[in-house]
Amino acid sequence: MKVATASHLRDFNCVKPQTSFDGVVEGNLNFVSDVGFILPTYCEAKNIEEIIRKIEKLNLKLSILVIDDSSPDGTANIVRDLQREYKNIILLIRPRKMGLGTAIVDGFKLLLSLKNPPKFIITMDADYSHDPAEIPKLLAPVKTDRYDLCIGSRYCHGGIVKNWNILRRLISKTANFVAKLVVGAEISDYTSGMRCYSTRLVRNIIHKLHSQTYEIQIETIRQASMRGYRITEAPITFINRKKGKSKLSINEVLDFISYIIATNISKH
Ligand SMILES: Nc1nc2c(ncn2[C@@H]2O[C@H](COP(=O)(O)OP(=O)(O)OP(=O)(O)O)[C@@H](O)[C@H]2O)c(=O)[nH]1
Ligand SMILES: [Mg+2]
């Protein structure tokens, strides 16, 4: 297992993160931001540059953390090139494909371990299905302090899904139906990856997050809801990826099913 140490940090300004990861961290960890973006990537070379440039154009004091699982298509090298241009990008490179759930949890841990953690944490897919222009809508309710989590919903009033086939819609709707049965919160889109969390919520649930893959989206809602945090939704337009391949496979679906079964047994 490789753990990030100061000597692994490529940028001169880097400091060692306070937590260790199965991976290597590159970038400036001293950068101070209000909003930290977590972008998990596996083979997103065709999408990552466009999404990062669009996020950088938002009028926010932001930082971007890319968690890349050693994508064989060279995603990390594109991020490294962008790091020369933008000083607010951190790259965590993990040794192999380890699942979306662990990527998001590692992202949370890294942001929380910074000397100056951001106040708000955004997660979104890096395949350009989520439009960064919709981020201010998700941030607004959490910034008011009334809510600790705002989910970008495809299924609430005003939400839209574009270019998904019937099977993909069916998988998503079924996962949402089952998640609602198990968790019971009034959420229309449990599986959306586009969200804004308050950092205080993430800090309070991080020790309870054990997801490997896509079930992370439901586990976070469940943990927040069990602790009485207020959750809201804002409509988004989700557009199926135009470039690169989906990573949702039968293994991820099986992980989701085991999570649901385990959740029914466990009360924690
Ligand atoms: N680091 C990391 N990122 C991952 C992993 N699996 C998926 N991702 C990323 O997570 C995001 C969502 O994955 P997608 O393959 O788009 O899955 P999806 O959006 O649920 O499914 P599609 O609708 O088919 O695109 C993308 O940015 C992926 O690159 C993983 O194992 N590790
Ligand atoms: Mg996708």
Per-residue model confidence as pLDDT tens digits over 13-43: 445 566 677 899 999 999 999 999 999 999 9
**Which residue lies with its CA nearest to atom 6 of ligand 1?**
100
Q: Can you give the pLDDT at residue 1?
A: 35
C-alpha of residue 242 to centroid of ligand 2, in Å: 10
Instruction: At 56, list the tokens.
Output: 């950088």
CB-facing half-sphere around the CA of 259: CA atoms within 13 A: 25
Burial class (CB in 10 A: 0-12, 13-18, 19+), 81: exposed
Ligand nearest to the CA of 163: 1
Is residue 12 within 8 Å of residue 83, measured between CB atoms?
no
**Which residue lies with its CA nearest to atom 11 of ligand 1?**
125
Top-tier CATH class for 6-265: alpha beta
3-state secondary structure of 238: strand
* Ligand 1 site, residue 217, Cβ cutoff 6 A: no
Model pLDDT for residues 120-130, shown as the tens digit of each residue? 999 999 998 99
Q: Can you give the pLDDT at residue 223?
A: 96
Please state, as a whole number, how many other Cβ atoms lie within 10 Å of the Cβ of residue 180: 16
- Which of 102, 124, 127, 238 is the best mutation target for the ligand 1 pocket, counting ligand atoms within 8 Å of the beta carbon and taking the most? 127
How far apart CA 128 and CA 55 sit, in angstroms, is 11
Mean pLDDT, residues 222-231 taken together: 96
How far apart CA 143 and CA 149 sit, in angstroms, is 10
* Ligand 1 site, residue 246, Cβ cutoff 6 A: yes
Instruction: At 95, list the tokens.
Output: 């040794």
Share of the chain above pLDDT 70, in %: 91
User: If you write DSSP's letter for every residue of 146-158 in order, what string do you get?
Assistant: S-SEEEEESSSTT
- For the chain, give every domain's residue range: 6-265
Ligand 1: atom nearest CA of 191 is: 20
Band (pLDDT 50/70/90 cuts) for residue 259 is confident
Ligand 1: atom nearest CA of 43 is: 29
Mean pLDDT, residues 220-228 taken together: 96
Model pLDDT for residues 160-179, shown as the tens digit of each residue? 999 889 988 998 999 999 99
Mean pLDDT, residues 61-90 taken together: 98
